[in-house]
Amino acid sequence: MRRSHRSAPSFFHCMLTLVMTWTIVAAPSLHAQKSGPTENEVKSAYLYNFGKFVEWPAKATSVGEFFPICVLGDDTFGSTLETTIARESISGKKVLVKRVPKPQDALSCRILFISSSQQSRLKEILAELDNTSVLTVSDMPEFTRRGGMIQFVVEANKVRFEVNLTSAERTGLTLSSQLLKVAIDVKRSTQPGG
């Protein structure tokens, strides 16, 4: 969203530009209450943003020319995910949204959103994904405590997230300090198989 700047913008022009950007591209902001982005939109954007602050091991990065972001379980996003991030790319790779019915299908994904519907099978899913370099994200409670990597938390109408750094590092992922900085909680202790 690069703002082009002209040599002598009139006040009116500035205002127009401001309003247009505000209305059209203000999706990630939660400051806009009414016309602001929905929780799903924010979560979609965050999924995509996580990709920017995480480094995958070399074996994972060499896979294909896409950056697959997958959803496991009930798709609460609907089409939101596609509309928000479909045409983006991360590290030169095109983002690809995939829906996977079972954890085995998710092995080639970079980021896997695990729907709350999978809460009961979480242990098996995480176990399935052990030893793979897939960043696991979910909005189910206790996700990070149970071994998930990033868990969305809504606090004061604002989407925040917690990080279980140990889980992430175990799979060879490197989380940027920048990412950790904005996380509301970073867990370092693990409960394997929990």
Region label for 95, one of left (φ > 0), alpha (ψ between -120 and 50) or beta (otherwise) = beta
Q: Do the strands 111-114 and 66-72 form a parallel or antiparallel pair, or are they unpaired?
A: parallel
Residue 27 within binding range of another protein, rule CB under 8 A? no
C-alpha distances out from residue 3 to 14, 16, 20, 36, 183, Å: 11, 13, 11, 20, 29
For residues 15-34, one letter each, b for 16 or more C-beta atoms within 10 angstroms of the residue's C-beta and e for the rest, the string is eeeeeeeeeeeebbebeeee
Residue 1 within binding range of another protein, rule CB under 8 A? yes
Given the rule CB under 8 A, which of 1-9, 54-62, 126-134, 141-149 is the region that contacts another protein?
Answer: 1-9
CB of 122 to another protein, least distance (A): 24
Report DSSP state, residue 24.
H
Q: Which is nearer to another protein, 1 or 189 (CB)?
A: 1
Q: Do the strands 135-138 and 150-155 form a parallel or antiparallel pair, or are they unpaired?
A: parallel
Please state, in angstroms and rounded to a whole number, the distance separating the CA atoms of residues 46 and 177.
16
CB of 23 to another protein, least distance (A): 11
Q: Which is nearer to another protein, 66 or 130 (CB)?
A: 66
Side-chain-facing half-sphere of 99: CA atoms under 13 Å: 11
Q: Which of 13, 52, 59, 102 binds another protein (CB under 8 A)?
A: 52
Q: Which of 30, 109, 111, 149 binds another protein (CB under 8 A)?
A: 30
Contact predicate 108/155, CB 8 Å: no
Q: What is the amino acid identity at position 4?
A: S
CB of 79 to another protein, least distance (A): 22
Site string for another protein, 68-107 (x = CB under 8 A): -----------------------x----------------
Residue 19 within binding range of another protein, rule CB under 8 A? no
Q: Which of 40, 53, 99, 128 binds another protein (CB under 8 A)?
A: 53
Residue 158 within binding range of another protein, rule CB under 8 A? yes
Positions that interact with another protein (CB under 8 A): 1-6, 9, 17-18, 21-22, 25-26, 28-31, 42, 46, 49, 52-53, 91, 158, 161, 176, 178-179, 181-182
